[in-house]
Amino acid sequence: MTKKYELLVGDCLRAGDRTLYRIRALRDFGDVKRGDLGGYIESESALAHEGHAWVQDVAQVYGPHGSVGGNARIKGEAWILGRVDGDAEVCDLVVVGEDAHVGGRTVLCGDEVVRGEVLRPVEPCRAGVSVLAASRFVLQTL
């Protein structure tokens, strides 16, 4: 499998004592096009080169357990210190803690802190039910 992104050494930020590098797509995959800029990761172990997983906007993935794989999407200002995979989507100000695992078809948006395991798919939003309310429902049913 060929690499799907590169780390941009000249575009980085600090998260405590860690250095995070912006990523740039090296090839087309999913809805990501070659040359698209992504979010920030600490190392190549934080984002799989297989699948359609992607970190975008100013989202950050770091730490010894921080990893994104499968077809997962990390967006907005999310911080991933745990594992996100499957077809999961994490966005806005969600923080996935070091020991947390978000997977399946789970969608988490808003300003949540996730600990533990979230694998259940969120039901499609109905009129009057926000994605934030749906994600809170998933977290409360664990």
Of the two residues 135 and 30, the one the predictor is more confident about is 30
Amino acid of residue 45: S
Mean per-residue pLDDT over the chain, rounded = 88
Which two three-digit tokens encode residue 69?
């794989």
Give the per-residue pLDDT at 117: 86
Amino acid of residue 68: V
pLDDT of residue 105 exceeding 50: yes
pLDDT of residue 128 exceeding 80: no
**How many domains are contained in the chain?**
1
Burial of 123 (0-12, 13-18, 19+ CB in 10 A): exposed
Query: What domain range is 60 assigned to?
Result: 5-140
Give the per-residue pLDDT at 140: 44
